[in-house]
């Protein structure tokens, strides 16, 4: 409709101008046309008819209107251009939204894919521990543990790093299999929740307690020289090594550890120990404890036994044919039969014989290389060709007798070999009966005993 108005006004303006210039009467046709136009304009604008002279003013108004319309048209064109540009190039806010969505999605994908852990103070509070984690496992140097780096973090040795006091963050090493915090200031093992752990060493640390039930795959645990006062290994069926020397434990149940091969709990308050359910046991050390009895008949693989400085009075090693080392000094053992222990290489039984044993026969133990034993009345090493160290003290025995007769088999030891005895002072020996007749009961009787030979000659 605006376009029609513009055309009509322009026509009227042109006719009016012509009339003014010529000064001639306007032709009837032109006048009629003008009137038609005027009527059209009036009808269009809904105004009354006006003389031709007024059309000039109307024309000026219409020109103003036209200018505005042109400006509006130009503005509309510019707007259309901008809208067209916007359609061609997405708006910046829309781009930002898309970018943010991609970032969030990428972040989520990183977490799911990598399971990455930042090596920072929030995750690893102990500075020294944090630095060690970086040194050991952060191979790409980005201060982040990736899935690959975590999977390869299987062994962590913090031995003798005395300034480390906290293991917080170690739980993120989900594939950790071996941890050594020995000789550190670590006192709390609760952050160690790694169920894959197979070996844990906290000896000479400040650890006072430990929950081993959280490590079902544990194979070796070492806690020597700590303040730990109790151990529950009932859930550690795979355990094969347990060292708890110089701790405060007084009870230890290893009946649920059939794979146990090495057990050491010396210098503790242990009062009893049942190892009849440990057929794989190879090494056992209960020295310097309060244990009174020990049954090792169900341990056929036992190679080393240390039961020194205990209250054990009886020890049967006849079923332990693989035994190579035996330390039973300073006990109350009254009988020691080593005839079945042909693999024996080292024996220490010093100061044991004050309790009743007077002699020792190791003539069948031809593999013995080291022998330490004191206070014997007699010793038979047989034809030993490999004995290197012999610290055997035989002599200064005291026997209470009545009369002037000494029965070597009765008063000294039934296992003594009479043929190896030679009285050298204050008595006469009857080789058939094994009885020595004392010349002067107020004086000591002296005799020699042939102990056999060893690597460098006679004993």
Concatenate the DSSP letters of all residues of 345-401 into one string.
Answer: -EEE-TT-GGGS--EEE-TT-TT--EEEEEEESEEE-EE-SS--EEEEEE-------
Residue 415 has pLDDT above 70, yes or no: no
Residue 40 has pLDDT above 60, yes or no: no
- The answer to whether position 20 is within a domain reads yes
DSSP character for 408? I
Q: Which of 410, 397, 405 is nearest to 447 (CA)?
A: 397
| Alpha-carbon distances of 272 from 102, 300, 325, rounded to whole Å | 66, 20, 22
- The answer to whether position 41 is within a domain reads yes
Contacts of residue 353, Cβ cutoff 8 Å, sequence gap at least 6: 359, 360, 373, 374, 375, 376, 377
pLDDT score recorded for residue 91: 44
pLDDT band at 421 (very low <50, low <70, confident <90, very high): confident
CB atoms within 10 A of CB 140: 9
pLDDT score recorded for residue 115: 82
- The answer to whether position 24 is within a domain reads yes
Domain that holds residue 39: 2-88
How far is residue 335's CA from residue 329's CA, in Å, rounded to a whole number? 13
Residue 456 has pLDDT above 60, yes or no: no
CB 166, CB 186: distance < 8 Å: yes
Q: Decide: residue 217, CB within 10 A, 0-12 exposed, 13-18 middle, 19+ buried.
A: middle
Of 133-137, 153-157, 444-448, give the lowest mean pLDDT range: 444-448
- State the residue for tokens 């990183």: 110
Q: Which of 188, 87, 319 is nearest to 305 (CA)?
A: 319
- The answer to whether position 70 is within a domain reads yes
pLDDT score recorded for residue 71: 53
Predicted TM-score of the model (pTM): 0.66
Total structural domains within the chain: 1
Residue 219 has pLDDT above 80, yes or no: yes
- The answer to whether position 42 is within a domain reads yes
Residue 211 has pLDDT above 80, yes or no: yes
pLDDT band at 321 (very low <50, low <70, confident <90, very high): very high
> For residues 277 and 81, which has the higher predicted lDDT (pLDDT)?
277
pLDDT score recorded for residue 452: 61
pLDDT band at 385 (very low <50, low <70, confident <90, very high): confident
The top-scoring range by mean pLDDT among 26-40, 94-108, 138-152 is 138-152
- The answer to whether position 44 is within a domain reads yes
Supply 454's token pair.
């060893």
- The answer to whether position 353 is within a domain reads no
CB 213, CB 192: distance < 8 Å: no
- The answer to whether position 39 is within a domain reads yes
């Amino acid at each position: 409709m605006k376009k029609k108005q513009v055309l009509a006004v322009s026509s009227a303006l042109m006719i009016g101008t012509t009339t003014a210039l010529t000064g001639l009467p306007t032709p009837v046709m032109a006048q009629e046309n003008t009137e038609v136009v005027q009527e059209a304009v009036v009808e269009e604008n809904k105004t009354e008819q006006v003389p031709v002279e007024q059309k000039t003013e109307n024309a000026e108004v219409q020109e103003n209107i036209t200018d505005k319309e042109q400006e509006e048209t130009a503005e509309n064109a510019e707007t259309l251009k901008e809208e067209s540009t916007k359609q061609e190039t997405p708006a910046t806010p829309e781009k930002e939204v898309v970018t943010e969505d991609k970032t969030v999605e990428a972040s989520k994908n990183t977490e799911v894919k990598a399971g990455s852990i930042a090596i920072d103070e929030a995750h690893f509070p102990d500075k020294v521990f944090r630095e060690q984690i970086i040194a050991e496992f952060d191979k790409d140097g980005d201060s982040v543990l990736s899935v690959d780096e975590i999977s390869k973090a299987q062994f962590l040795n913090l031995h003798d790093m005395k300034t480390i006091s906290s293991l917080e963050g170690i739980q993120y090493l989900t594939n950790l299999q071996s941890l050594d915090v020995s000789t550190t200031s670590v006192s709390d093992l609760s952050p160690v929740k790694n169920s894959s752990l197979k070996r844990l060493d906290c000896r000479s640390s400040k650890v006072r307690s430990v929950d081993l039930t959280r490590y079902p795959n544990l194979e070796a645990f070492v806690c020597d020289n700590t303040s730990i006062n109790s151990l529950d290994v009932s859930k550690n069926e795979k355990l094969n090594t347990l060292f708890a020397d110089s701790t405060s434990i007084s009870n230890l149940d290893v009946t649920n550890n059939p794979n146990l091969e090495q057990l050491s709990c010396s210098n503790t308050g242990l009062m009893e120990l049942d190892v009849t359910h440990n057929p794989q046991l190879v090494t056992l050390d209960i020295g310097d404890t309060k244990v009174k009895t020990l049954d090792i008949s169900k341990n056929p693989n036992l190679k080393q036994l240390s039961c020194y400085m205990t209250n054990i009075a009886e020890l049967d090693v006849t079923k332990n044919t693989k035994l190579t080392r035996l330390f039973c000094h300073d006990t109350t053992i009254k009988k020691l039969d080593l005839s079945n222990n042909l693999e024996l290489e080292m024996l220490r039984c010093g100061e044991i014989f004050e309790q009743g044993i007077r002699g020792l026969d190791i003539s069948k133990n031809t593999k013995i290389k080291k022998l330490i034993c004191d206070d014997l009345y007699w010793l038979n090493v047989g034809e030993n060709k490999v004995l290197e160290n012999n610290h055997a003290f035989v002599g200064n025995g005291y026997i209470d007798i009545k009369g002037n007769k000494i029965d070597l088999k009765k008063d000294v030891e039934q296992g003594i070999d009479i043929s190896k005895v030679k009285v050298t002072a204050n008595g006469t020996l009857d080789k058939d009966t094994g009885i020595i007749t004392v010349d002067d009961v107020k004086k000591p009787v002296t005799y020699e005993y042939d102990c056999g030979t060893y690597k460098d000659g006679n004993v």
